[in-house]
Amino acid sequence: MKQYLSAVSSLNVRNLIIIALMLIISWPNVTQAQGDGPRFYWKGLMGTNAVPVIGSSLSGNANPMDPSNTPIPGASFEATMATVGYAKMLPIFKRAALVSVIVPMGRISGDVSLGGLKYKSMARGYGDPMLQMGINIIGPKPIMNIPDMIRYQPKFSVDIIGSLAIPIGEYDNTTPINIGQNRWYGRIGAPIVWQLGAWVPGRRTTLEFLPAVWLMSDNNDFVGKKMHTEPMYQVEAHLTRDFMERLWGSLDVISYSGGKATIDGVEGSSLSNFGVGGTLGYQINENMQVNASYSSTINDNKPEDLKMDGFRITIIYGWHKLVEGMRRLKNE
């Protein structure tokens, strides 16, 4: 039997282990200016756990921790952030679902002129933790086991996601430069993954969209003022393609609109901006994936336009008890 099954164990199952863990890289992104990123809503083996570490460096004229991306003319922000979290894939109502929590941390510094006052300060510490839940509504059934994994292809899948940030992060009401936002905020979105061609590692191509709307409560103590922000509409689009079995890349576009902020009755401008960028991803081993991306806004010449660019490195460590058990047996 051992001889007969050698092809199965050495050839296919090895690849499947990789795939099983590769497919869970879904992370709600705290640095919203960059969007969630490509291959964000691919599905994995139910029961898979993952821990991400996301490092990002951003600069621009809006607080990268502010979900509304409200630009402040003449402002200059620099942020060095890290985000850690935990996620688990599980079936809910016989559909694939992901629940996750992330906590941002790091430091932001900047020069801001607001209401005739100049602020030059730095914030550090923990940001608002964010909970997110997503559930697939159109697409293949959840991946419950390895046979399902073998047969999985996203084809055309649509999820519904909901995110909610809890305003317990570091906040200083004497400065507009903060990591915590001092208000509830969250989003509702409908990520779409559209498989183009074969679903073969090394040849996978997808077109992905994420239309979402961000909703924010008022911040009643924004440097002593009240800040109201209208809903902000965000659409991400990604054309992703495998270069090799473990290496892939993506062209990323993101658009922002709406999100007009009013501070003590003084209205700002609505967003109408685009960002473009690219991502490279590499599967290091059965457990670990690393992605690197860069994005920058375009059409951002006017002072009120959002200007933002940033690098992001994401390392994800994933595991599943079945896969770990197989590995232990293999190593005996």
Amino acid code (one letter) for 157 = S
CB of 193 to other proteins, least distance (A): 16
**CB nearer other proteins, residue 144 or residue 276:** 144
Q: Collect all residues with Cβ–Cβ distance below 8 Å to 9 and sequence separation of at least 6.
A: none
**CB nearer other proteins, residue 12 or residue 174:** 12
CB of 220 to other proteins, least distance (A): 54
The Cα–Cα gap between 316 and 55 comes to 11
**CB nearer other proteins, residue 115 or residue 325:** 325
The Cα–Cα gap between 159 and 324 comes to 28
Binding site for other proteins (CB under 8 A): 1, 3-5, 7-9, 11-13, 15-16, 145-147, 150-151, 153, 198-203, 245
> Which of 222, 242, 212, 225 shows the shortest CA–CA distance to 171?
222
Amino acid code (one letter) for 207 = L
**CB nearer other proteins, residue 16 or residue 46:** 16
3-state secondary structure 54-72: EEEEEEECECCCCCCCCEC
CB of 143 to other proteins, least distance (A): 12
CB of 201 to other proteins, least distance (A): 6
Handedness of CA 98, 161, 132, 195 (dihedral sign): positive
**CB nearer other proteins, residue 72 or residue 146:** 146
**CB nearer other proteins, residue 144 or residue 292:** 144
CB of 185 to other proteins, least distance (A): 40
Give the C-alpha distances (Å, rounded to integers) separating 184 from 33, 35, 168, 207, 291. 18, 19, 9, 32, 29
Indicate the DSSP class of residue 143: B
Residue 166, burial from CB neighbour count under 10 angstroms (0-12, 13-18, 19+): middle
Indicate the DSSP class of residue 48: -
Q: Collect all residues with Cβ–Cβ distance below 8 Å to 266 and sequence separation of at least 6.
A: none
CB of 246 to other proteins, least distance (A): 12
**CB nearer other proteins, residue 312 or residue 320:** 320
CB of 200 to other proteins, least distance (A): 4
